[in-house]
Amino acid sequence: MQSVNDNSAIEASHVAAHDRVAELRAIYDSRDASAAWLLCDQWGESAVAYRVISPDLSAEDITYGELRRESERFAAALFELGLRPGDRIATLMGKSREYLVTLLGIWRLGAVHVPLFTAFAPSAIAMRLNGSRARAIVCDEGQRGKLSAEGDVAMPSSLLVISTGQPGQEGYSFAGITEQHEPGFPAATLGPDAPLIQIYTSGTTGDPKGVVVPLRALAAFRTYAEFGLGLRSDDVFWCAADPGWAYGLYFGILATFSTGTPSVLLQGGFVPETTMEILFREQVTNFAAAPTVYRALRSADLVVSGPLRLRCASSAGEPLTPEVNLWARSVLGVTVHDHYGQTEAGMLINNHHHPMLHHDVRPGSMGHAMPGWKAVILDPEKDVELAPGQAGRVAMKVSESPLMWFTGYDGDSAKTAGKFTANGEYYLTGDNGLVDEDGYFRFSAREDDVIIMAGYRIGPFEVEASMSTHPAVAEAAVIAVPDEVRGEVIEAYVVVKDGTVSSPELAKEIQRWVKTHYAAHAYPRAIHFIGALPRTPSGKIQRFMLKQRRLEELGVRA
């Protein structure tokens, strides 16, 4: 039982956290707010922003002074090409020095960043470029080939392409146009409502939806950096998530830039041995990654080269399973804290690292609502708040959530309406869960069928749409099944066209088709051929029936 002194200390912490949220809102809600100043220029000339580590583990530091000068030159080049504040500029780039300069150059100009995941196939890229009305794209030279309009893929006709290839090649060269300009391009000052990012999320009932992130959302992102991640000025931070997705961009990039915390940026894909070596060699103190990273490290059963300095480890993107922390406490020396959020909001509910908001981590819980957000559980039928212990819809009360920045999907009023209750009082996360008497929230299920694999949110509709373009496929439905390492993996049920014979060879061909026509990470790991898909009377596919059948086959309880 808590004492009066304990309760007083908790109340004082809540007041202090509330005051800090108000301070951050004042900074990012200022009418003269400048993204370049807030994310780069305010930090010391010689302060290290990132240590960029190559696949061969060679490293290069980049300071805020270098980022300022190089992004000023790149912004000047963009301006000369005719790009202006508000224009959408996409990136199709891996993690690199050029990527960091590109982001700051876009924001210095006052333009809007459209992130693209490098595993996307041309059709997925074209949809996002056309949907955002992008005027330009900056890409790695190895990604340039995806931008050719072929077949049914229609790229924007007037798209400016800037690649990291050598000057003199087709299109514009990043180095070539940057070197033609001197530093000194003035930073745009556009205020809190100016769009900063246009990022796409997916669901089950249509195309991916565009989320426009305004500058003032940085207040929410920094609040999470300070309270959720517990970032300190003396940290060495490493967020292993890919910045082509929301968590990696919001908190692998913007959390660093907004706090000035020195960070690690690793080029190339995830390798367990490399990850453990960097945690040791760089003496990382604060680490964030998807649960699949921790599970893969656990499965690899690696011997650490020497003592680690980790004081904080965080997980986001999917629920964290208990066995991870049984391993983490003995090998990493810390407990991994589970965090919960969305593309449309940033992080909402966390097992916070900041000592001001410390609570014991309870297995299976995603923690407490973050300062600046009022999280509740709603009755799914009446949209009224439920008492602790009752399962319902996880929602945020808008009037008591000063960090709320999402106002709707770009050009999609119908989908926007579905994210709020009819009276606009609550923001609906689309997830189900419950909260206990101590304020701990637990995730139970997603309302839609979005699949979370290795931290990536994958909409079945996009995968199914890609599969349906295969000449042999009449219909397809995608489900998620449990996976020890990735959390979930995609499996598909396929109805073949008349006259087509199903076979293992055809299954492999369909898998390759999804890899090349949608995204390399989102192909179905297994394909089951079926005579007909289960449907509702209105014709909607009943994916839950397919999933229930598959789980029974696997001997897994639903």
Looking at residues 371-399, what average pLDDT do you find?
Answer: 95
Residue 191, pLDDT score: 97
pLDDT band, very low/low/confident/very high, at 318 (cuts 50, 70, 90)? confident
Smallest CA-to-CA distance from 414 within 217, 214, 207, 213 is with 207
Evaluate if residue 10 carries a pLDDT over 90: no
Dihedral of CA 259/246/97/338: which sign?
positive
For the segment 51-105, what is each residue's pLDDT rounded down to a tens digit? 999 999 999 999 999 999 999 999 999 999 999 999 999 999 999 999 999 999 9
For position 474, what pLDDT does the model report?
86
DSSP labels for 277-343? HHHHHTT-SEEEE-HHHHHHHHHHTPPPSS-----EEEE-SSPPPTHHHHHHHHHTSSPEEEEEEET
Euclidean distance between CA atoms 474 and 494, whole angstroms: 8
Phi, psi of 488 (to 5 degrees): -140, 150
Helix 272-281 and helix 291-300, axial crossing angle in degrees, nearest 10: 100
The DSSP secondary-structure symbol of 493 reads E
Range of the domain at 501: 453-554
Rounded Cα distance between 374 and 368, Å, is: 10
Task: Judge whether 144 lies within some domain.
Answer: no
- Find out whether 254 and 218 touch, Cβ atoms under 8 Å: yes
Q: Name the DSSP class of 541.
A: B
Per-residue pLDDT band for 537 (boundaries 50, 70, 90) equals: very low
The residues pairing with 337 across neighbouring beta strands, listed in sequence order, are 314
Closest CA to 311 of 288, 290, 342: 288
Mean pLDDT of 222-228: 98
- Domain contains 155: no
In this structure, is residue 238 part of a structural domain? Answer: no
Q: Mean of the pLDDT values across residues 188-217?
A: 87
Confidence of residue 204 (pLDDT cuts 50, 70, 90): very low
Listed in sequence order, the DSSP H helices in 29-157 are 35-36, 64-80, 97-109, 122-132
User: What pTM, to 2 d.p., does this model score?
Assistant: 0.86
Q: How does the average pLDDT of the chain come out, rounded? A: 92
Which pLDDT band holds residue 226 (cuts at 50, 70, 90)? very high
Backbone angles phi, psi at 331, to 5 degrees: -100, -45
Mind listing the pLDDT tens digit for each residue in 227-252? 999 999 999 999 999 999 999 999 99
Q: Indicate the pLDDT class of residue 440, thresholds 50, 70 and 90.
A: very high
Which range among 54-58, 206-210, 353-357, 386-390 shows the weakest confidence by mean pLDDT? 206-210
Could you tell me if residue 544 is inside a domain?
A: yes
CA distance 427 to 514: 34
Half-sphere exposure (Cβ direction) of 474: Cα atoms closer than 13 Å: 13
Give just the sign of the alpha carbon dihedral 135, 141, 143, 145.
positive
Pair of tokens at residue 147: 């931008």
The pLDDT value recorded for residue 432 is: 87
Give residue 6's pLDDT. 63
Residue 477 domain-assigned? Answer: yes
User: Helix crossing, 323-331 with 291-300: angle to 10°?
Assistant: 60
Closest C-alpha to 309, from 237, 231, 241, 227:
237
469 domain residue, yes or no: yes
pLDDT at 206 over 60: no
Q: Residue 84: what pLDDT?
A: 98
Per the CB < 8 A criterion, the answer to whether 391 and 434 are in contact is yes
Q: Which residue has the higher pLDDT, 541 or 198?
A: 198
CATH code, 477? 3.30.300.30
Q: What is the pLDDT of residues 444-498, one digit of tens each?
A: 867 766 688 887 768 777 788 789 889 999 889 899 999 888 888 999 999 999 8
pLDDT on residue 203: 47
Q: Position 450: which residue type?
A: V
Structural domain total, the chain: 1
Percent of the chain predicted with pLDDT > 70: 95
Output 469 or 144, whichever has higher pLDDT.
144
* Number of residues that this document lists for the chain: 558
The answer to whether 154 touches 129, Cβ cutoff 8 Å, is no
Say if residue 402's pLDDT is above 60. yes
Q: Say which residue, 342 or 445, is predicted with more confidence.
A: 342
Residue 119 lies in a domain: no
3-class DSSP assignment, residue 200: strand
Q: Tell me what pLDDT residue 556 has.
A: 83
| pLDDT in the model for residue 508 | 96
DSSP 535: B
In a domain? residue 496: yes
Distance CA 86, CA 113 (A): 10
